[in-house]
A = this chain, B = another copy of it.
Amino acid sequence: MDYTNYMADRVKTMKGSAIREMFKRMADPEIISLAGGNPASELFPGEELSKIAGKILMTNPTLALQYGTTDGYPKMKDCARARAEKVNSITENDEIIIMTGANQGIDLTAKALLNKGDKVIVESPSFIGSLNAFRTYECSLVGVRVDADGMNMDELEEKLKSEDGVKFIYTIPTFQNPTGCTMSLEKRKRMIELANKYDVLILEDNPYGDLRFSGEDVPTLKSMDTEGRVIYAGSFSKILSPGMRLGYIIAPAPLCEKIEVLKQVNDVHTPMLTQLMCVEFMKKYDIDKYIEKNRELYGKKCAAMVDAMEKYFPKGKVKWVVPEGGIFLWCECPTITDITPIVDKCLEKKVAIVPGSNFATDIFAPSNMFRLNYSSATIEKITEGIRRLGEVLTENL
C-alpha cells in the first residue's frame, strides 16, 4: 500500500534531522563524536536525583503518578520563574508554561503563530530542531547571516522591509547553535527597535545562556523588550539534564493561553515526576553551584579543543571564532565549497562532525562549514578527535 496520498503536505518531503540519522551510523564505539549536542554526563547529579526520586515516589506517589495540570506543576513554574528572574526575562504581563523540553515550547509557539505561507526570519545557520519545527507549519524561512557578534542587523532590516508576512524573528542570541556566537548588546538593542518598527514578534531561545566561561554576560532580548514582543524559551536540558525533558515558555498572557491549549492537545502535561525532581533538586541544592561546575568544565574542554585545533589543523585553511560559552564551535574552510566529502572521510577515520548544510535554511545548498561540540567528549577524546580531524583536513584542504 502506498501511503503518500494519505500524508499531509507538510510531511511529504520532510526528513529527520541528519544529525540524528548520523548517530545511527555511529554505533561503532571507536568513533569519537564531536557531532552531538549532549551536555557533559560526567557531572550529572545521579546520586542526588536518585535519592530525590526515591523519596518523592515513596512519600507522595499520587502527586507523582496521577495526572497534572497542563501549564505545569505550580512549584515547577516557580523554579522556571526563578531562572527567568535571574536574567530579568519575565514581566507581570507574562505567563509561564512548563514544557517537555524547550523544543516543545518552540514547536507549539510556532503552531500558535504560523499560518501556511507566513514567514519566519531566522539566523542562517540556526538550530535544525527549530527550523524543522517551523517547516511543519508550511511557513517560509528567511535566513539572515550570523556575524561573529550575532545576526547581521542591516540584513535583518533589509529583510523586514522587503518581505511581507513575517510573523516573528527566531534567534538564539547567546552562544548560538551552531555558531557559538553571541549577539552584542548594541545588536540586541537594534533588534528590539526593529521588531517594534516593523511590528513583528521575537522568539528568543536561550538554552545556553547560563554556560558562560569567559567574557561578560549580555542582557537577554526579553529583558530589553519594551512592547511585549519577546517570547522567551528556557531550558533545564543544559543546566540539569536533557533526558528529563524540562523547559518552559514565557510569553504575554494572551499568547500563553493559546499555547497552553496546544500543549493540552499535545501531551496533556509534562510528566510529573521529572517536574517534582527538578523542584526538589533546586530546593535542596544550589543549582548555580552545579552550573558553575559545568561552566568550568566546558571552559576547559573548549580550551583543549582550541589548543588541539591550533596544533593539528592545517595552518590558514580553517577559520573559527572562539566561543565565550555554550557547547559549540563553528569552523569554515574558505578554500572549498562543500564539506560533505570530508565529513564522510572523517567517519572513516572514526571522528564525527556535522556538516554546515544541516543548519541552513536551504538544506540542499553546499556548505564549507562544520560544527564541533566540546561538551560531550572527555578532554582526551576531544584532543584525539581533533587530531584525526586535522589529519583529514590536512589531506583534503
Contacts and interface: CB of A to CB of B under 8 A. Distances in A.
A17 B103 contact: no
A261 interface: yes
Contacts of A53: 50, 53-54, 57, 273
A242 B273 contact: no
B115 A261 contact: no
Given A49-B65, A113-B6, A133 B265 contact: yes
Nearest to A63: B243
A192 B116 CA distance: 34
A20 interface: yes
Contacts of A68: 243
A8 B16 CA distance: 25
Nearest to A46: B61
Interface string A52-75: 011111100111111111100000
Interface stretch (A104-112, A142-150, A317-325): A104-112
Contacts of A132: 261, 264-265
Interface stretch (A250-258, A288-296, A336-344): A250-258
A49 B61 contact: yes
Instruction: Kindly report how many copies of this chain are found in the complex they form together.
Output: 2
A241 interface: yes
Nearest to A50: B57
A273 B274 contact: yes
Given A38-B66, A46-B58, A241-B65, A104 B7 contact: no
A261 B11 contact: yes
Contacts of A115: 8-10
Interface in A2-27: 3-4, 6-11, 14-17, 20, 23
Interface string A368-391: 000000000000000000000000
A171 interface: no
A271 B271 contact: yes
A158 interface: no
A270 interface: yes
Given A103-B266, A267-B103, A50 B44 contact: no
Interface in A289-318: none
A114 interface: yes
A283 to B, nearest CB: 17
A272 interface: yes
Given A3-B255, A61-B49, A101-B267, A66 B54 contact: no
Interface in A115-152: 115-116, 118, 129-130, 132-133, 136-137
Given A51-B54, A245-B271, A264 B62 contact: no
Interface of A: 1, 3-4, 6-11, 14-17, 20, 23, 36-39, 41, 44-47, 49-51, 53-58, 61-70, 99-101, 103-104, 107, 111-116, 118, 129-130, 132-133, 136-137, 167-168, 201, 227-229, 241-245, 252, 254-255, 257-258, 260-262, 264-274
Given A44-B61, A66-B242, A244-B272, 10 more contacts: A6-B255, A7-B255, A8-B114, A16-B257, A41-B61, A41-B65, A100-B245, A103-B265, A116-B116, A274-B274
The 9 A-B residue pairs whose C-beta atoms are closest, nearest first, are A46-B61, A54-B54, A50-B57, A243-B272, A65-B241, A133-B265, A53-B53, A50-B58, A11-B258
13 contacts: A14-B262, A16-B257, A16-B260, A23-B69, A36-B67, A39-B66, A44-B61, A66-B242, A104-B266, A107-B266, A132-B261, A132-B264, A243-B271
